[in-house]
Structure 1
């Protein structure tokens, strides 16, 4: 993978504390993401093997399916990678050049989870502190994990949701995604903490549409098959006093 000069490499006249955090380095010396789009000599290379979601390009995952939430106007609001272990997403936010936003957000996320009656712990991860919340006030226990990485004028936040049995597996899925995510911050001034826009490329829209048509065709084919005994009913998710775990996730993250 070809990389170009990072923005923070040209700011040699600024004091050291203002520099963006250096990318993590593996034992063999290779860079570990998240990356900035300007890390690439050819930005088109950043699209290879990644879903183009506008401000973030997240790696494709053969074991996951991309699911996009839209509002009533049809505007995408959140993109999830859904796996057998649970689901995860990666979003980007405008941040100060000093790259210290996650340090503030960690405390706020932990406090919000506690307010939702979650058992909260702070754990060390590859990029620093991770917030883990165990939610037990719904129909089934849920584990939420939040991982943040500060960059130059942006912060990436990953969120993973799974059951206690799959919590570690979905957390690793999220870490793998973050390590190969690319951020397309852009030069437009943005208020700090503002979520950078989620936009689907035409190619991705086409793939999602094709997948939806395939699913409809499969459902139609199943409808033509002889009727089978009904499956046991799946208990519907019930609201807790604070709402479902997914609603709590949306409230906590501002998504």
Structure 2
């Protein structure tokens, strides 16, 4: 079974996501060598998983077409739609923050997250956020403070896809929200499909019939 992750993770009690955080200078975002390195038998590759290597772990996942998400118990779903009523994102709302995971078409050579990460940092600063780079389970992450909300962005390069996850929540719950995002990303399955797509194209999100019917009923 092949699992796609940029770094291995340690199964040890003192590992904390983003423990090696460093302030990012304007226009400068740390690269992958910030990610923690561990050796020995305490490691395993983290998800997310490609459809071709999806684990038979019995985990109940919400099928959204391009991604299958292990939604936590008690979470609520919020569907974001564009002007054409196409689904743009499905947000997983939990007591510790709002989690969002999206997949994009990527080159076979990988490395898309590195490009996107730098652009995202500039965009966030342009919106007035204070941004820093963090080393996490899959390499480089971004942490941004914007008003009373803290954001954390994770990116993972897979086979012809890139997965981006973000959690938005109150700063005092940052540790819990980070762990919640990690758990969601670890268990996500990405369905890239075989059709050619321009790089950075969002992979389409398809709602389960029951959710789609519920939204249609609400919209009259």
TM-score range, shorter chain: 0.7 to 0.9
Give the structure, 1 or 2, with the largest relative contact order (CA under 8 Å, sep 6 or more): 2
Normalising by structure 1, report the TM-score: 0.66
The residue number in structure 2 matching 1:130 is 141
1:24 aligns with 2:8: yes
Alpha carbons of structure 1 residues 49 and 205: separation in structure 2 relative to 1, 3 Å: farther
The residue number in structure 2 matching 1:93 is 104
Distance 1:30 1:94 in 2: 26
**Which residues of structure 2 form unaligned runs of 5+?**
12-41
Q: Give yes or no for contact 1:50–1:60 (8 Å, CA) kept in 2.
A: yes
1:1-255 equivalences under 5 Å are 3=1, 24=8, 30-40=44-54, 48-136=59-147, 141-202=148-209, 204-205=211-212, 209=214
RMSD, aligned α-carbons: 2.6
Q: Give yes or no for contact 1:131–1:146 (8 Å, CA) kept in 2.
A: yes
* SS in structure 2 at match of 1:166: helix
Alpha carbons of structure 1 residues 190 and 68: separation in structure 2 relative to 1, 3 Å: same
Distance 1:70 1:47 in 2: 30
**Which residues of structure 1 form unaligned runs of 5+?**
7-19, 214-255
- Between Structure 1 and Structure 2, how many residues are aligned? 187
Higher strand proportion (structure 1 or 2): 2
